């Protein structure tokens, strides 16, 4: 898997402290299992409030030290902690922060890491990162998301629900500006940087030229999509009522058959043919897992 053996050991240890309100996020959660294209530099844990962010950081650090890890804390504030954990000559960066709990889905229970952010929320967060910084790994992740999770257009459309004040046309053009540097004149340096990301090549092109072509097509299709989608669906995901899958509307007829999902505090579980079921309901959770296979999130998110 894309986590190194050392990172996996740390994540497995810290899984005992994870809850739906304190979960693994970032690149580590996006590329947690086999079939993903790159390794990650750190473990990012998101908490739903500031008090929890600091409390979980302290609890995790104490657990690591109890198990023989050396932990060096570099930054510690009420809402953010950064540390480096090392043992046996290996190390990894770990960060704990407060992140808004306004999301589409509840955190997912995971055998390795305890709880992790849902792939769709991870994907939308990643696109937001790409829109406001120029980091090669974000570009790689965005191409991977568009190919394997959900189309760029559907993600951009839903993003305004997660990030108010970010209308889809603005968000899309911000992505275009930030990725303009990934042009032919920079191909050699970008290809070298991408190689350093240790891509596995699974379900993902390794060469920059193919990535760039896929991205150009994704941007073109995204522009077409947001031009005709109804404004009253802005900020929402689209769900096929028959399969429960998150999909991209193909046309007006297809759109009319779809249900929509908007983000809520803590996320929600969609119920086909019924009103939205709150994530806190054990009955709703059990029904959703049975009907939609919560463990098979990639298959359901295409």
Number of H helices, E strands in the chain: 12, 14
Is the pLDDT at 103 greater than 80, yes or no? yes
Cβ–Cβ < 8 Å for 122, 115:
no
- Model-wide pTM > 0.75: yes
Query: What confidence category does residue 297 fall into, taking pLDDT thresholds of 50, 70 and 90?
Result: very low
User: Cα–Cα distances in Å, from 163 out to 30, 83, 84, 209, 225?
Assistant: 19, 28, 30, 31, 19
Q: For the segment 203-236, what is each residue's pLDDT rounded down to a tens digit?
A: 777 778 888 899 999 999 999 999 999 999 999 9
Q: How high is the pLDDT of residue 284?
A: 46
Q: How far apart are CA 33 and CA 37, in angstroms?
A: 10
Q: Where are the domains of the chain?
A: 5-117, 118-233, 236-302
Q: How far apart are CA 139 and CA 13, in angstroms?
A: 31
Radius of gyration over every alpha carbon of the chain, rounded to an integer in angstroms: 19
Is the pLDDT at 1 greater than 60, yes or no? no
Q: How far apart are CA 160 and CA 254, in angstroms?
A: 22
**Of the ranges 28-42, 89-103, 135-149, 190-204, the best mean pLDDT one:** 89-103
Span 134-159, average pLDDT: 90
Is the pLDDT at 86 greater than 70, yes or no? yes
Q: Which two tokens stand for residue 3?
A: 């986590």
CATH fold of the domain at 5-117: Beta Polymerase; domain 2 (3.30.460)
Greatest alpha-carbon pair distance for the chain in Å reads 60
To which residue do tokens 């930054």 refer?
A: 75
Q: How high is the pLDDT of residue 276?
A: 38
Q: How far apart are CA 145 and CA 159, in angstroms?
A: 14
Q: For the segment 265-290, what is each residue's pLDDT rounded down to a tens digit?
A: 999 866 544 333 334 445 545 554 55
Is the pLDDT at 294 greater than 60, yes or no? no
């Amino acid at each position: 898997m894309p986590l190194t053996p050392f990172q996996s050991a740390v994540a497995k240890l810290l899984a005992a402290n994870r809850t739906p309100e304190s979960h693994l996020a970032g690149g580590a959660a996006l590329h947690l299992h086999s079939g993903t294209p790159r390794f990650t530099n750190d473990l990012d844990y998101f908490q739903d409030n500031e008090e929890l962010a600091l409390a979980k950081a302290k609890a995790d650090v104490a657990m690591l030290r109890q198990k023989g890890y050396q932990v060096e804390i570099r930054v510690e504030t009420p809402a953010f902690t950064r540390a480096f954990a090392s043992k046996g000559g290996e190390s990894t960066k770990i960060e704990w922060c407060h992140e808004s709990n306004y999301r589409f889905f509840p955190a997912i229970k995971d055998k390795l890491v305890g709880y992790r952010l849902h792939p769709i929320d991870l994907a939308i967060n990643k696109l937001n990162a790409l829109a406001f910084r120029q980091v090669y790994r974000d570009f790689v992740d965005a191409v991977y998301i568009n190919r394997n999770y959900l189309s760029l257009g559907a993600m951009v459309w839903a993003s305004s629900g997660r990030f108010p004040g970010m209308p889809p046309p603005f968000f899309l053009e911000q992505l275009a500006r930030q990725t303009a540097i990934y042009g032919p004149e920079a191909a050699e340096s970008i290809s070298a940087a991408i190689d350093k990301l240790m891509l596995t090549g699974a379900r993902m092109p390794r060469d920059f030229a193919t990535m760039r072509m896929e991205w150009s097509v994704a941007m073109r299709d995204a522009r077409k999509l947001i031009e005709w989608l109804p404004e009253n669906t802005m900020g929402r995901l689209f769900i096929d009522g028959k399969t429960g899958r998150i999909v991209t509307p193909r046309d007006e007829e297809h759109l009319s058959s779809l249900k929509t999902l908007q983000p809520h505090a803590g996320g929600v579980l969609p119920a086909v043919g019924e009103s939205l079921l709150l994530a806190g309901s054990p009955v709703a959770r059990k029904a959703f897992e049975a009907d939609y296979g919560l463990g098979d999130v990639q298959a359901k998110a295409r």
